[in-house]
Chains A and B, each alone.
Chain A
Amino acid sequence: MAVSVTSPFVQALNTHAETLTSLVEEGRKAMGYFCHYTPVELIHASGLIPVRISGGPGDVEMAYNLAPDFICPYMKRGLEKALAGNYRFLSGLVQGYTCDIACGMANIWADNIDGDLFHILPLPYEDTEESRRYLQIEYRNLIDKLSDLGGNFSDSSLEASLDIYARIRTHILEFYQKQFEGKLPLSSSELWQVIQAGFVSVPETYLDMLEELQAELISLPVPDPTGVPVLISGSLIESPNILDFLESRGGRIVADDLCSGMRSASTTSRSSSDPIERLADLHFNRFPCPSRSRAEDRLPLIQQLIEKSGARGVVFIFQKFCTPHLSDYPFLSDQLKADGIPSVMIELDESWQADAQMGTRLEGLFEIIEG
């Protein structure tokens, strides 16, 4: 039954290139981005469709003519797809400096992929009066660049975009709340599909889809929980197979700390008369990515997720060569261990294939938890 309620999202994911190409042919513009530190509200308020680049499982060939192999699968595959012409519908890229690779890759795209605007947003780290003033100037500069591209920005269009994205985030967080409580009638891979669809859909359409889904979920039965409850932590999961694999080995995902998951929706803004201030709030209030924060800042948030969801262990699922996550891992795993929360770390390459060794390690973790 759950398959039918998520099928619009699966379809949106599978056909997004065709959908966006048609929209662009009709006169709309689409703007790419890598991660959710990009102010998508601002792109949308300028009349463009923000589209998150995806890598997905597959081979890397052409991208190795432009980048080394020791960068994350997401960036390699995203470039591969762009070089293959899969992102012809984009007018360019807007990307905040999050990790080194995101910045370098945006520059490589600028040099090698057709587009009118490749903009790297130099984002502040500290939340101070000065940094907010600075960030607002950066936002205004980006608005000017998007206007040069034919964008039609106004404060009221930004208000509207902020409201749409806020409603989207509310729905997603409600799904997570249900997942914490064991009341979500969707599997982890279905929830993954629902969220990923939002990264490549027109926000208004996506919001309608979410509202419909919320209504349908009410009547769906919740399956009895089986498996050891765990939290998964990492950057992007680019294939739902890995989630199914984890659950097939005896785990049950009850929460996530993923930038392709809950982190993408975890931010808030104060109500303010100035929409640019609201946008700055969203930047500073995010559930932080390790590329922009200390592990010490992230630990209490992960601990809260564990407490809320009843997770009894953590599976760190990292993309290979992800410096921000790999750097924080020793501290986080030690601290969780001290809390009595065991963890395991698995790394995945661009094939996104789990192997037998990973299965054994996961089973080992679940056995430890079950005693």
Chain B
Amino acid sequence: MEKTRKSNKRLQTAKELSRVVADYYKECGAAKADGRPVGWMPPMNGAIEIFYAMDLQPVFPENWSPVCAAFGLTPDNFDVSEGMGYSRDLCGYLRNIIGYVNGPINDPSFPLGSLPAPDIILSPGGGCIPVMKIFHALERRFPEAKVLTSDLPQVAVEDIQEHHIKYAVEQINRLVAFLTEVTGRKLDMNRLSEVVQLSDRACALWDEIMTYRRFIPAPFSAAEMGIMFVMVTRQGTRIAVDFLEKVLAEIKERAANGIGVIENEKIRLFWDNIPLWYNMGVFNYFEKMDGVVVAETYSAAWSLRLDTSNPIRALALKSLMSYPLVSCVSIKKRREMVLKACRDYHIDGVVLHRNKSCVPITLGQMNIKKELEETLGIPSVIIDADHMDDRNFSTAQFQTRIDAFMETLHAKKQSLAMKIP
């Protein structure tokens, strides 16, 4: 197995994803010429719907990092940021994007046309520290951009109360007022309502797609996780809905016809934490041992349905919940989510990616591991890696651990089968 590798995809619609990705970045590049101001923002909040509703162009630097990883461009970006004094111990998203904006951003040969410079920056107070620091560095790099510092205290999902929602609603209203002031555009509430309905439709489709993971054999695996791209960049648009409808139709058909990812699926796995963006091929590694990575934590952040009758409140709630759901803000909720997924999807074993680039997701994993064993009797294995920096990933160590883990899972399954009369 190579250190960096793309995954083998089975879904025809997932293969269409490259067009969807290219179209999005083409649209970003054309935005200024088309008269649409460009705003850089963190993902997983309600700003995207506001942007699409106001016909502004949202750009997600965090999401650009996996794109750079897929093209093998992160090492050069790391060189730039590390040369500036950023420690190798910092999150890979941070080092990549700071390296990129201070390095090759204006290189015309950069894949997908590179990113357009921001007219607007939404700088988060809230979320994780690396993302907050990324945006501080972006403010420094693009001093001409208009900046809004958002303020969204991190509260565990199970502790959200009315005053949290009220505060988040005030923040959404503040964002709208700011965008109106700096772009001269007004938010049409009917248009926002349409956008939120599309966003909720995408979430509903996403949820439905995820339910097909309970089928044995699994009609698709974590290797196809790239479909999440539309949930990050296209929420609130017809593009996301159309794409996900196609994905759903294909998955339904595969499930109905018993078509799995591999012919002889014996072991079903769950992946916790962000994938290795430079080596999505690791998901295929399990297949030679009849294993399929059926589900993963990261996809859960996009399963938040929106109350379309109250768009602003719905976006406030989405903004409050997305980050805590997948991080250490709400370890309890995350643990429940992982356990539920393991039950629903008939999981045999869990791979816990101890991710040097993401401490908020890594913290709490050991409690999840313990609970999996004690409550569900599901074994798990820890692999040490990094979602962005392949220097923190050892192929040999990964293979050794996974080979041994898969052997254990096969043996366990065999012994269970022998006990059944």
The segment from A18-26, A152-160, A325-333 that touches chain B is A325-333
Chain A CB within 8 A of B239 CB: no
Residue pairs across A and B with Cβ atoms less than 8 A apart, 18 shown, are A66-B367, A68-B359, A97-B329, A100-B328, A100-B359, A100-B363, A104-B327, A105-B363, A107-B363, A124-B151, A131-B151, A134-B166, A134-B167, A321-B89, A323-B91, A323-B129, A326-B86, A333-B85
A327 and B86 within 8 A (CB): yes
Contact string against A for B residues 324-364, beta-carbon threshold 8 Å, 1 for contact and 0 otherwise: 00011111100000000000000000000010100110111
Chain B: interface size category = 35 or more
Give chain A residues whose Cβ lies under 8 Å from the Cβ of B125.
Answer: 124-126, 292
Find chain B residues with CB under 8 A from A320 CB.
89
Residues of B within 8 A of A324 (CB): 129, 133
- Verify A100–B327 contact, CB threshold 8 A: yes
Question: What is the CA–CA distance of A123 and B152 in the complex, to the nearest angstrom?
Answer: 9
Q: Are A104 and B129 in contact (CB under 8 A)?
A: no
Known contacts A65-B366, A122-B154; can you find 9 more A-B pairs with CB under 8 A? A68-B363, A100-B359, A101-B363, A105-B363, A120-B329, A122-B153, A134-B166, A327-B133, A330-B84
Contact A137 B359, beta carbon cutoff 8 Å: no
Bound-state Cα–Cα, A126 to B175, Å:
14
Name the one of B139, B170, B329 contacting A103, with C-beta atoms under 8 angstroms: B329
Residue of A nearest to B335 (CB): A111
Q: How far is the CA of A359 from the CA of B131 in the complex (A)?
A: 34
Bound Cα distance from A312 to B94, whole angstroms: 31
Q: Which residues of B contact A99 (CB under 8 A)?
A: 129
Report chain A residues within 8 Å CB of B156.
120
Taking the closest CB of chain B, its distance from the CB of A204, in whole angstroms, is: 32
Q: 0/1 per residue, A201-221, Cβ < 8 Å to B?
A: 000000000000000000000
Q: Chain B residues with Cβ under 8 A from A292's Cβ?
A: 125
Q: Are A137 and B163 in contact (CB-based, < 8 A)? A: yes
A126 and B327 contact, Cβ closer than 8 Å, known pairs A66-B367, A67-B366, A327-B133? no
The residue from B133, B139, B164, B331 contacting A111, defined by CB atoms under 8 A apart: B331
A103 touches B90 (CB 8 A): no
Whether B367 lies near A108 (C-beta < 8 A) is: yes
Tell me which residues across on chain B come within 8 A of A137, comparing CB atoms: 163
Query: Within 8 Å of chain A (Cβ to Cβ): is B130?
Result: yes
Specify which chain A residues have a CB less than 8 angstroms from the CB of B87 in the assembled complex: 326, 329
Q: Once bound together, how far apart are the Cα atoms of A35 and B92, in whole Å?
A: 27
Does B170 lie within 8 Å of A130, measured CB to CB? yes
Which of the residues B161, B332, B354, B356 comes within 8 Å of A107, measured between beta carbons? B332
Say yes or no: B328 contacts A327, CB within 8 Å.
Answer: no
From known contacts A328-B133, A330-B85, infer whether A112 and B367 are also in contact, taking CB-CB under 8 Å: yes
B140 at interface, CB cutoff 8 A: yes
**Shortest beta-carbon distance from B375 to chain A in Å:** 14
Cβ-neighbour of B364 out of A65, A70, A107, A327 (below 8 A): A107
- Chain A residues within 8 Å of B, Cβ to Cβ: 65-68, 70-71, 97, 99-101, 103-105, 107-108, 111-112, 120, 122-126, 128, 130-131, 134, 137-138, 141, 291-292, 294-296, 320-321, 323-324, 326-331, 333-334
In the complex, residue of chain B having the shortest beta-carbon distance to the beta carbon of A75: B363
Instruction: Tell yes or no: B186 within 8 A of A by CB.
Output: no
CB distance from A332 to the nearest CB of B (A): 10
Chain B residues with CB under 8 Å of A70's CB are 89, 356, 359
B359 adjacent to A108 (CB under 8 Å): no
CB proximity of B393 to chain A, nearest CB, Å = 14
Cα distance A219–B148 when bound, in Å? 53
The reply to whether B364 and A104 form a contact with Cβ atoms under 8 Å apart is: yes
Chain A contacts of B154 at CB under 8 A? 97, 103, 122
B128 interface contact, C-beta 8 A: yes
Supposing A122-B164, A327-B86 touch, asked if A68 and B129 sit within 8 A by C-beta, the answer is no
Q: Is B412 engaged at the interface, CB distance under 8 Å to the other chain?
A: no
A-B interface, 6 closest residue pairs, ranked by CB to CB distance from nearest: A125-B125, A104-B328, A104-B363, A330-B85, A122-B153, A327-B133
What per-residue 1/0 map shows which CB atoms of B154-177 lie under 8 Å from chain A?
A: 111000010110110010000000
**Is the Cβ of B140 less than 8 Å from the Cβ of A331?**
yes
Hey, what's the 0/1 contact readout for B115-140 against A, CB within 8 Å counting as 1?
00000000001101110010011011
C-alpha gap A328/B98 in the complex (Å): 12
* Closest residue on chain B to residue A71 by CB atoms: B359
CA distance in complex: A128, B170 (Å): 11
Question: Does B149 count as interface, using CB distance less than 8 angstroms?
Answer: yes
A97 to B320, CA, bound (A): 14
A130 to B156, CA, bound (A): 20
B89 touches A122 (CB 8 A): no
Nearest residue (CB) in B for A324 is B129
Minimum Cβ distance to chain A for residue B121 (Å): 12
B153, closest chain A residue (CB): A122
Contacts of A321 in B (CB 8 A): 89, 359
B41 to chain A, nearest CB (A): 16
Tell me, in angstroms, the Cα distance from A231 to B139 when the chains sit together: 27
With most chain B CB atoms within 10 A of its CB, the pick from A103, A108, A112, A294 is A103
Chain A residues with CB below 8 A from B151, complex form: 124-126, 128, 131
Q: How far is the CA of A104 from the CA of B129 in the complex (A)?
A: 12
Residues of B within 8 A of A294 (CB): 136, 139
* Cβ-closest chain A residue relative to B123: A294
* Chain B residues near A333 (CB-CB < 8 A): 85
Of chain A, the residue at the smallest CB distance from B136 is A294
Q: Are A97 and B153 in contact (CB under 8 A)?
A: yes
**Of the residues A101, A131, A296, A331, contact of B359 by C-beta under 8 Å:** A101
**A124 surroundings in chain B (CB, below 8 A):** 125, 151, 153, 167
Q: Are A104 and B89 in contact (CB under 8 A)?
A: no
Within the complex, the shortest CB–CB distance from A338 to chain B, in Å, comes to 14
**Docked complex Cα distance between A291 and B170 (Å):** 23
**What A residues does B364 contact at CB under 8 A?**
104, 107-108
- Please give the distance in Å from B168's CB to the nearest CB on chain A: 10
* Neighbouring A residues of B86 by C-beta, 8 Å: 326-327, 330
The B6-62 residues at the A interface (CB cut-off 8 A) are: none
Q: Are B129 and A295 in contact (CB under 8 A)?
A: no
- Residues of A close to B163: CB separation below 8 A: 134, 137-138
Q: What separation, in Å, do the CA atoms of A324 and B132 have in the docked complex?
A: 9
Q: Contact at B91–A107, with CB atoms within 8 Å?
A: no
Question: Which residues does chain B contribute within 8 Å of A107, judged by CB atoms?
Answer: 328-332, 363-364
Given the interface pairs A68-B362, A70-B356, A327-B130, the reply to whether A295 lies near B136 with Cβ below 8 Å is yes
